[in-house]
Amino acid sequence: QLAAYGLDVERDTPEILASRIRESAIREQLTRRFDAWAHFRRSHELGAWHKLVRSAELADPHATRCRIRRAWAASDVEKLRALAASPVKLEEAWTVSLLAHYLSSNRDIAIKVLRDALTRFPSDFAISHDLACALRVLDDPPHDEIVRLATMGIAILPDSAHARADLAYSLMAAGRDGEAEQLLASMRADHPGYTRTWRYTAWSARYRGEWGRAADAYRRALTIGDDANDHAWLGFSLEQLGELDEAQSHMRRAVALSDHGQLAHFCFGELLMRLGRAAEAKLHLRRACEFDPTHALSHGQLGVVLSRQGRLREAVAEFEIAAGHSPGDSQFRMRSLSALELIEQESVLDELRAG
């Protein structure tokens, strides 16, 4: 997509990138994309984010937004908080959106900034969208408010596939599956070339256990773009259908494509467990844990593989990590206790043999 605007992030210098962004008819959208990409790459420790921030700063020399970018790049949270407390500095919706994005680790402040901004910029799609995104990751998301914000987004951009996809996702998360499916049906008619149309159709099918329909939708999504997560979920859907050879093919493609490969490695690791290929499964599940150390199921499944290999002490460690990240789920603690019992039994047998 960026190549269409003459942008080659790998090859070009920040100065060249900024010059081409400034010459574009969609300067603001491209700059915002660079800011969001920088945030993603830094959050996932992928490197090269400094170049993206510098390019955005050169493309958009707005004084307050440059201060926000510099404070974020320097991890100066206090300066970001100070800017959040200064409404005079937040005179544009773009500025508010950027600050809230870079304050995402300070969720309560970011949400307050966006809620205040919504009253000042009620017709700005980015503000309502960003607030909905911030609310979705709360421990107890306010689904009614999120649906209301997504509905506002459609009122602002009635012909936008992006806005309609946001509402479909919000309705599914709120358990309003019938409304979501009606909206997705209209998107399949109006926006068949939009990836999220098919991705969310697949999600809706997965929730219903309609794995064949989910697989078909992921295949449609992959005709639009070669995406690692779509390959991973297609592989998972095919696994549920018993089509294991094709599932493996898509899992391998997911791993090959993915920079941030937690989902790809986790799904492939689970499939390899089912195929009895413990050594390979262990490697992929370890990689999944490295990409997301807080994902309880990755640690739990790694513990299962290790226990099957007789590496019980290592298994206990993984089960305990899983339990720590999923305190409401007793399965990991029970598996840890079972492994500890086996270790104790082995110790008793060793003593008897020695005696």
Question: Measured between alpha carbons, how far is 315 from 335 in angstroms, rounded to an integer?
Answer: 9
Question: Measured between alpha carbons, how far is 312 from 69 in angstroms, rounded to an integer?
Answer: 47
Question: Measured between alpha carbons, how far is 85 from 103 in angstroms, rounded to an integer?
Answer: 12
Whether the Cβ atoms of residue 87 and residue 99 lie closer than 8 Å to each other: no
Instruction: Give Cβ neighbours of residue 60 (< 8 Å, ≥ 6 apart).
Output: 27, 28, 31, 66
Whether the Cβ atoms of residue 161 and residue 187 lie closer than 8 Å to each other: yes
In this prediction, residue 353 carries a pLDDT of 58
In this prediction, residue 354 carries a pLDDT of 61
Closest CA to 299 of 313, 316, 277, 312: 316
Question: Measured between alpha carbons, how far is 310 from 343 in angstroms, rounded to an integer?
Answer: 10
In this prediction, residue 137 carries a pLDDT of 86
Tokens of 260: 């941030």
Give the residue ranges of the chain where pLDDT is below 70.
Answer: 1-3, 44-47, 87-90, 259-260, 346-355
In this prediction, residue 152 carries a pLDDT of 96
In this prediction, residue 131 carries a pLDDT of 93
If one counts every other C-beta atom within 10 angstroms of the C-beta of residue 37, the result is 19
Question: Measured between alpha carbons, how far is 236 from 283 in angstroms, rounded to an integer?
Answer: 18
Task: Give CA separation, 301 vs 3, 238, 242, in Å.
Answer: 40, 20, 20
Task: Compute the 3-state secondary structure of the chain and give helix, strand, coil in percent, each to the nearest 5.
Answer: 75, 0, 25
In this prediction, residue 346 carries a pLDDT of 64
Instruction: Name the residue with tokens 């929730």.
Output: 207
SS3 for 231-264, per residue?
A: HHHHHHHHHHCCCHHHHHHHHHHHHHHCCCCHHH
Kindly report the backbone phi and psi dihedral angles of residue 262, in degrees, each rounded to the nearest multiple of 5, phi listed first: -55, -50
In this prediction, residue 351 carries a pLDDT of 55
In this prediction, residue 46 carries a pLDDT of 65
- Residue 236: which region, alpha, beta or left (left: phi > 0; alpha: psi -120 to 50)? alpha
pTM (2 d.p.): 0.79
For 96-110, what is each residue's pLDDT tens digit?
A: 888 888 888 788 888
Report the SS3 class of residue 213.
Answer: helix
**DSSP code per residue over 257-306:** H-SS-HHHHHHHHHHHHHTT-HHHHHHHHHHHHHH-TT-HHHHHHHHHHH
Instruction: Give Cβ neighbours of residue 353 (< 8 Å, ≥ 6 apart).
Output: none
In this prediction, residue 45 carries a pLDDT of 66
Residue type, 191: H
